[in-house]
Homo-oligomer: A and B are copies of this chain.
């Protein structure tokens, strides 16, 4: 066992400075604009796949944590944007759930529909809402696999009190996927 970390929190160095941490993100569109901007920056800087995510407090819209896809950079197939955003948020809350008693609810916002792994992680994380931009078929059009997610998978989360809203700023999110494709980005796990 060595002391190296498996994951660097928060993603590549530019992430900390590319985000306005003081702003209140009060609409789903504003939240998607942030995660899509992160996904685009990740492609522009060639630090990972075309996916960005963030965790917000409800209802204040305060930004808690962000993540960008880091699979290739960190050589870790679990480092999807959503996973890094959720892990960083839990680290900042010092809790394995984002729904402990007496604190505001949280939501996960992501530029693209979560894969099977990230959908499971969403359920365990304690968030109350999930909002995404591009849809499964948009990612699959690039050659990315979304894994075993079925209509009843989303229903499973809804039955446990998680609101799911999809397709917000879909065209803008899809444009970043196309940008990544046009630049010949790696389609890992195709």
Known: A72-B96, A96-B77, A120-B148. A8 touches B10 (CB 8 A): no
| Stretch in contact with the other chain, from A37-45, A84-92, A167-175 | A84-92
What chain B residues lie within 8 Å of A91 (beta carbons)?
Answer: 4, 6, 75-76
Interface size bucket, A side?
35 or more
Cα-based distance from A188 to B100 in the complex (angstroms): 11
Query: Are B5 and A8 closer than 8 Å at their CB atoms?
Result: yes
| A116 proximity list for chain B (CB < 8 A) | 116-117, 119-120, 123, 153
Contact present for B150 and A152 (CB under 8 Å): yes
* CB pair A124 B77 closer than 8 Å: yes
A91 to B7, CA, bound (A): 10
Q: Write out, one digit per residue, whether chain A residues 95-122 have a CB within 8 A of any chain B CB (1) or not (0).
A: 1110000000000000000011111110
Please tell me if the beta carbons of B123 and A120 are within 8 angstroms of each other in the complex. no
Find the B residue at minimum CB distance from A189. B124
Select A97's contact among B2, B9, B153, B189, beta carbons within 8 Å.
Answer: B189
Chain B residues, CB < 8 A from A152: 148, 150
A170 CB to closest chain B CB (Å) equals: 23
Assembly CA distance A81 to B11 (angstroms):
23
CA separation between A22 and B9, bound complex, in Å? 33
Q: A7 near B10 (CB under 8 angstroms)?
A: no
Give 7 new A-B contacts, CB below 8 A, not counting A97-B188, A117-B119: A5-B5, A6-B88, A76-B91, A78-B124, A116-B116, A148-B149, A150-B150
Q: List 17 A-B contacts (CB under 8 A).
A: A3-B8, A5-B5, A6-B84, A7-B7, A75-B95, A77-B96, A77-B121, A77-B124, A78-B83, A78-B124, A116-B116, A116-B120, A120-B120, A124-B147, A148-B152, A148-B153, A150-B150
The 8 closest A-B pairs by CB, nearest first: A5-B5, A117-B120, A116-B120, A148-B156, A148-B153, A77-B124, A1-B16, A1-B10
